[in-house]
Chain A
Amino acid sequence: METLSFLMQGFAVALTPESIMFAIIGAILGTLIGALPGLGPANGVAILIPLAFSLGLSPTSSLILLTSVYAGAMYGGRISSILLNIPGDEPAMMTCIDGYPMALKGKAAEALAISAIASFIGSFIATIGLVILAPILANFALKFGPSEYFALFALAFATLGGITGKNQFKTLMAAALGLMIASVGIDISSGVQRYTYNILELFEGVDFIIAIVGLFAISELLFFIEKHAGEGLKKVTVNKLKLTMGDIIAVLPTSFRGALLGFVSGVLPGAGASLGSFISYTLEKKVVGDKGTFGQGDARGIAAPEAGNNGAASGALVPMLTLGVPGSGTTAVLLAMLISLNVTPGPMLFTQNADLVWGVIAALFVGNLVLLLLNIPMIGIFVKLLSVPPKYLMPIVTLVASVGIYSVSHSALDLYFMVGFGVIGYILRKVDVPLVPVILGMLLGPEMEKSLRHALVLSDGDWGVLFNSGLSIGLWTVAIMGLLLPVIIGPIVRAKMAKSKTATE
C-alpha cells in the first residue's frame, strides 16, 4: 500500500508539464536513435547525456529524459528490422525473422502496429514488476555488506559477456582496459594518488561520462566518416494500416508471456534484452507449435520478441536502482550519469530520494503511453526520418556532445580526452572488442576494489570473510555459473539463434 502512495507521488512529479515534455522529447529521440541501424540504446543514452548537462537539467528531469530515450530506443529498434531486415539494435534481431516477411507481404503497417502494442505491453508489465520488486530488493539490499558486494561485483564481471556473448576473451580484455583507466586518480582507501603524475586534472580520475561519450558517440562519428555515409537509407513506403481488434487480441497472450520472460531476464545480471527477446521467441514457437507460421510473417513472431526486449529493458533498471550494480550496458550508462549528478543509487535511494525514483518510474509509464501513441499514428514520420542523411545528423550529435562535455567542467582537457576515447572506441570496434565492458570495468572496478579492502579491514585481514554468509556463497555460485555457462551452452544458443535467422532468408 505504501508503494502505491509513493507511486502516486511519483505521478505527481511525472505529470508536471516539464516532465511530460522531457518524456515526449526522450521518446521521440529514443525511437529515432533506436531505428537507425547501429545506434543502440547505450549509444543513444550516451549521446544524449551531454544534452542533459548542457541544458542544466535537474537530476529528476535528466533521468526522465534519458529513461524515455532508453524506452524509445527499445521501441525504435523494430522499425528497421521490419522494413529493411536490418535490426536497429541487437535485441531487435529476432524481430526481423517474422517482421520482414510480413512487410514483404505488404503488411508492414500492421507489423509495425502490432510490434508497438507488444512493446507497450512488455514495458508496461515490466514496469509494474519494477514497482513491486524494487522496494523489496531495496530492503533486502541492506543485508549487503562489503563481502557480499564484492561477491556481487565479481558476479557482474563474470556475467559481463552474457550468455549470447561471442568472445569471452575480448570481453575480459575490454573489462581489463576499463579497470586500468579506473585506477587513475586518488585511492580513497589510502588517500594516495595513483598514476596522476602531479597533473591536477587527473587527481579525481577519468570521468566516466567523458569516456562514455567518447567511446560511443565520437567513435560512431568516425565510423560514419569512414563509410562516407552521405546518403540516408533507401526510401521505404508503408501501406495504409488495416488493423482489427481481432488482430490485437490474437497477440495478447503472446505479449504477456514475452513481457514476463523479458522482465526476468532483464533483472538477472548478464542476461539482458537480447536473451529476453530470444527466449520469448523460442518459447512462443514451442507454445504455438505447428499451428503457427513462424518465419513466414506470423504476427506472434513479432509480438513475442518485442514484448521480451522491452520487458528486459525495464527489468534491467531493478538491480541498477536498488543495488547500484548495472545489469546491462545502457543501465551502466544511466548509472554513470546518476553518479555525476550526485545521486547515489542503492537501497537508500528509495527512502532518501523517493521523489526522484518514483518520479522516474511513473515517467516510464507515461513515456510508454506516449510511445504507443507516437508509434501507431505517427509511424510514417519515423520512417521518413530514417532517410535523413547522416551527413546532417552526425554533426549535430558531435556538436551536442562537445558542448555538453565542456559545460560539465569547463575544461578543454576534457574535450581532448573525449576525442581520445573516440579514437580508442573506433579502434576497439574495428577489432570487435565490445565497448560496454570497458565502461563496466571503469564503473565497477573501483567499487569492487573498495569492497574487497573494506571486507578485509573489517575482518582484520581474514580472507575467509568473503565466504562467511549464505548470501555471498550464493552469489559466488552464480558468478561461477555465469563464467562457465557461456563456454558450455553459449555455442548451442548462438547456433540456434543463427539457425532461426538464416531459416527465414
Chain B
Amino acid sequence: MKINNSFKTIALKSVMATGLMALVSSAQAYEPARTAECIAPANPGGGWDFTCRSVGKALVDLSYIKGNVQTVNMSGAGGGVAFAHTVSKRSKDDGLIVAASTATTTRLAQGQFPGMNSDQVKWVGTLGADYGIIAVATDSKYQNLNQMMDDLRKDPNSVKFAGGSASGGWDHLKVLITAKEANVTKLPKIKYLSFNGGSEALVQVVGGHIDAFTGDISEVKGFLDSGDIRVVAVLSEERLPAPLNNIPTALEQGVSSVAPNWRGFYVPGDAGNDSYDWWVNTIDELYQTQEWKDIMAKNGLMPFHKTGAEFTQFVKNQTLDIRILSQDIGLIK
C-alpha cells in the first residue's frame, strides 16, 4: 500500500532524528502497519465492540494492516475505564485505537470521567452514525412531532419519554435538544424514564405504559417492521436512505434538532503525529471503500464522516453544547 510506505518513510526519518533510545519506541511506530489493538470500552456485543471488530476486520481484509487488529474489551464507567487507561498507561502507544461515540462526549461533557477531558486524547474520525429518533406506539394520538411539542409547550409533564440511557445520557438529551429547539420552556420538568437498553424501553412504549420512546434508529428496526411503533421524527439533517426514507426529519417539521450518535475512534494523546495522520488517512480511505459501505448497509449505519481537525473541532463543539444543556437543565453545576 502506498500509504503504508510513505508512513514508514516518515517514521524512519523521525527515528534517525531522535536517536537510539527513541529507536526502540519509534520502532513501535511501525506497528499500525503490521498489527494494532482496538479497545472496545464495553463488553462484547454492544456498539463499541461492533465498531472495533468491523473496522479491524475491514482494515485487515483490505490490507491496510498486514497482521491483525486485536479487539480488547475493557468495560467500566461507560468508557471511563478505557479512557483512563489510554491517558495514564498508553499515552504514547502508536498502535492503539479506542472506539468512541456520542456517549463518550456526553460523559466527558458532564464530568463523569473524573479529572479527565477531551483534550487528553487525539480524535481520529468517524465512520458513520446512528441517528436519534422519537417514536410512539402505533395507536398513539401523536401523528407528528409538532403535535407532541405543542402538548409539551402547554404542559412539560404531558408526554413522558422512555429511553435506554441513564438519566442525563444521550437518549435523554435528544429529547431535551428537540424540545429546546421547539421552544419548550421548563425543560427540567420533562419526564424521562431510564431503562437498561432500548428494547426494554420500547416494550413499555409498545405496551402502552409510557407515551414516547427516544433512542436510535437501529434500535427500532425490528419494531418498525412488525408495525408496533411509529417514528414521529428522525433527528438527522436529511432523510435516511431507503427503506427508511418515509420517516420525516425534525428539520422538515420546523424543529432544527439533529442528533447523530456517531461511531468513531480516538488515539492516545501523545501518539506520534505520523501515526495520527496515518490513522486519519486510513479512516478517510476506508470510508470510501465498497467493503465499508456494505458493512454500513448491513448494520444500519448512516452516512456521517468527519476526520482529523474537523472531527476534533466537532468533538469540542459537541462537548460544549452538551455541557451547556446539562447545566441549563440542572444535571450538572
Contacts and interface: CB of A to CB of B under 8 A. Distances in A.
Contact of A200 (B45, B77, B160): B77
B219 to A, nearest CB: 10
A191 B331 contact: yes
Nearest to B332: A191
A188 B194 CA distance: 6
Nearest to B202: A348
A344 B43 contact: no
A142 B207 CA distance: 5
B303 interface: no
Contacts of A201: 76-77, 81
B78 interface: yes
B45 A342 contact: yes
A409 B73 contact: yes
A346 B200 contact: yes
A142 B206 contact: yes
The main secondary structure of chain B at its interface with chain A is loop
Contact of B209 (A59, A145, A191): A145
Contact of A188 (B44, B160, B166, B202): B166
Contacts of A344: 196-197, 199-200
B114 A198 contact: yes
B113 interface: yes
Interface string A428-464: 0000000000000000000000100010011010000
Interface residues of A, number: 39
Interface string B204-218: 101111100000000
Nearest to B165: A188
Given A142-B207, A200-B77, A348-B202, A191 B193 contact: no
Contact of A454 (B77, B78, B193): B193
A460 B157 contact: yes
A409 B112 CA distance: 20
B67 interface: no
A477 interface: no
A141 B199 CA distance: 14
A352 B168 CA distance: 27
B196 A409 contact: no
A352 B203 CA distance: 11
Given A191-B166, A341-B44, A342-B45, A352 B222 contact: yes
Interface string A327-350: 000000000000111111011100
Given A186-B166, A346-B203, A410-B74, A146 B113 contact: no
Contact of B207 (A56, A144, A410, A458): A144
A198 B77 CA distance: 10
Nearest to B83: A200
A5 interface: no
A237 interface: no
B75 interface: yes
Interface of B: 43-46, 72-78, 80-81, 84, 110, 112-114, 157, 160, 166-169, 191, 193-197, 199-200, 202-204, 206-210, 222, 226, 331
Interface of A: 56, 59, 141-146, 186-191, 198, 200-201, 203-204, 339-344, 346-348, 351-352, 408-411, 450, 454, 457-458, 460
25 contacts: A59-B45, A145-B209, A146-B209, A186-B166, A188-B196, A191-B110, A191-B168, A198-B114, A200-B114, A201-B77, A203-B80, A204-B76, A340-B43, A342-B45, A342-B46, A344-B200, A346-B203, A348-B206, A352-B222, A408-B43, A409-B76, A410-B74, A411-B74, A457-B191, A460-B157
